[in-house]
């Protein structure tokens, strides 16, 4: 072990300072920075044969610098009752990555504020009648909403290979429908997932007069546009937007109109390049920090919204000390190669793209779990 002086950024105290840190191997860079481990507000697991399970997801999280993640409900079967939640709890137990869970807004399980933190509609097609029915019978709690008018079919905002087109306004209209309906039934706490349009953010600004609302954006909506679409790894819900929207979303992050950076890590084995039949989603949790940093180009903003904001939103006490941190090299550039992912999801929309700012090391509970491309906990 060698002690070197490195820059440290603490987003919880908003402090930047230098400190002597012990690293497992010699490494030289003029721009190493020590930061807290990340929290992902939006993660998917599969548990299907040959697909992402908690072991492969744990490795992917550690390689990406994430020590805590929030699992979304659209598993098979859904996270919606006590039996399914108990199975996930047992499968996800480990000393290094904490897997919190959401629960389906349309199921019987309610949040417990321990490991089941909130309701979510993510990945679930629902209609207005189902929305009203569940608002009317459930106890108010934080609701994460994948805002979409599922009554109208569509895959892309921009027509691709003659597949159905969804109106860009669909998302914003769905945000208004969910929040205003929820308010009528006593709900006052909402989080809008993976926003992808200017109209959506304007709608959220208006509705904040009536409820506590936060929102998130993904790395793919900040770094990619519909002009990048070349195969079904770019089949994402909500769809990639145009360049003007991408620039707008980046500015919204910088101006604090968007509260949280979330991966929407949606792992699948290799897709068949069938836009109509292939599943939605991109696998990205291992390179999410780099994608966010490449898009936003401001370390403090990225870390605030990957570490502080999500934990603060869920009232989770952070760990940031000599036993728990991430080392990043802001100077290092690399080409994304999903074949090398620890995740079983190889469906990465960033494959072949050059990113800047690389996770070099991850220390959790006093042990180095990852260093310079090598997973160390096994």
Alpha-carbon radius of gyration of the chain: 20
Q: Is 82 helix (H, G, I), strand (E, B) or coil?
A: helix
* 45 secondary structure, DSSP code: -
Q: Are strands 66-71 and 367-371 parallel, antiparallel or unpaired?
A: unpaired
Q: Could you give the CA distance from residue 369 to residue 177 in angstroms, rounded to a whole number?
A: 44
Residue 289 phi/psi, 5-degree rounding, is -55, -45
Name the phi and psi angles at 211, rounded to 5. -155, 165
Phi, psi of 6, rounded to the nearest 5 degrees: -130, 160
* 3-state secondary structure (DSSP) of residue 311: helix
54 near 45, Cβ under 8 Å?
Answer: yes
Q: Which residue has the tokens 């000393």?
A: 95
Task: Quickly list H helices, the chain.
Answer: 54-64, 82-92, 128-137, 170-184, 198-207, 219-223, 243-254, 288-296, 299-303, 309-313
- Gap between the Cα atoms of 41 and 111, Å rounded: 16
DSSP 308: I
**Distance (Å, rounded) from C-alpha 119 to C-alpha 313?**
14
Please give the biggest Cα pair distance in the chain.
62
Both tokens assigned to 40: 């992902």
CA atoms within 13 A on the CB side of 345: 33
**Which three-class secondary structure string do you get for 242-269?**
CHHHHHHHHHHHHCCCCCEECCCECCCC
**Catalytic residue set:** 264
């Amino acid at each position: 072990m060698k002690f070197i002086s490195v820059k440290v950024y603490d987003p919880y105290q908003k402090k930047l300072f230098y400190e002597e840190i012990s690293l497992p191997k010699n490494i030289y860079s003029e721009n190493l920075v020590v930061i807290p481990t990340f929290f992902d507000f939006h993660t998917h697991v599969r548990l299907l044969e040959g697909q992402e399970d908690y072991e492969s997801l744990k490795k992917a999280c550690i390689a990406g610098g994430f020590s805590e993640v929030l699992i979304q409900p659209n598993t098979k079967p859904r996270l919606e009752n006590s039996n399914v939640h108990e199975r996930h709890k047992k499968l996800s137990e480990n000393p290094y990555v904490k897997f919190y869970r959401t629960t389906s807004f349309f199921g019987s399980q309610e949040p417990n504020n321990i490991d089941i933190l909130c309701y979510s509609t993510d990945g679930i097609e629902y209609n207005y009648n189902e929305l009203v029915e569940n608002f009317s019978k459930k106890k108010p709690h934080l609701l994460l909403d994948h805002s979409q008018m599922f009554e109208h079919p569509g895959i892309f905002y921009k027509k691709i290979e003659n597949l159905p087109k969804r109106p860009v306004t669909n998302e914003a209209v769905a945000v208004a429908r969910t929040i205003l309906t929820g308010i009528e039934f006593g709900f006052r706490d909402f989080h809008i997932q993976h926003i992808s349009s200017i109209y959506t953010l304007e709608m959220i600004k208006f509705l904040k007069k009536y409820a506590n609302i936060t929102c998130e954006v993904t790395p793919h909506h900040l770094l990619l546009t519909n002009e990048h679409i070349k195969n079904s790894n770019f089949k994402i819900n909500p769809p990639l937007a145009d360049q003007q929207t991408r620039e707008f979303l980046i500015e919204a992050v910088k101006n604090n109109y968007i509260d949280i950076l979330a991966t929407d890590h949606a792992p699948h084995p290799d897709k068949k390049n069938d836009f109509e039949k292939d599943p939605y989603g991109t696998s990205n949790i291992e390179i999410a920090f780099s994608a966010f940093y490449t898009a936003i180009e401001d370390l403090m903003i990225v870390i605030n919204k990957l570490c502080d904001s999500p934990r603060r939103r869920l009232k989770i006490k952070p760990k940031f000390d000599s036993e728990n941190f991430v080392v990043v090299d802001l100077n290092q550039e690399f080409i994304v190669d999903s074949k090398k992912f620890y995740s079983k999801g190889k469906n990465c929309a960033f494959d072949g793209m050059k990113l800047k700012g690389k996770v070099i090391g991850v220390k959790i509970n006093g042990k180095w779990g990852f260093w310079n491309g090598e997973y160390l906990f096994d």
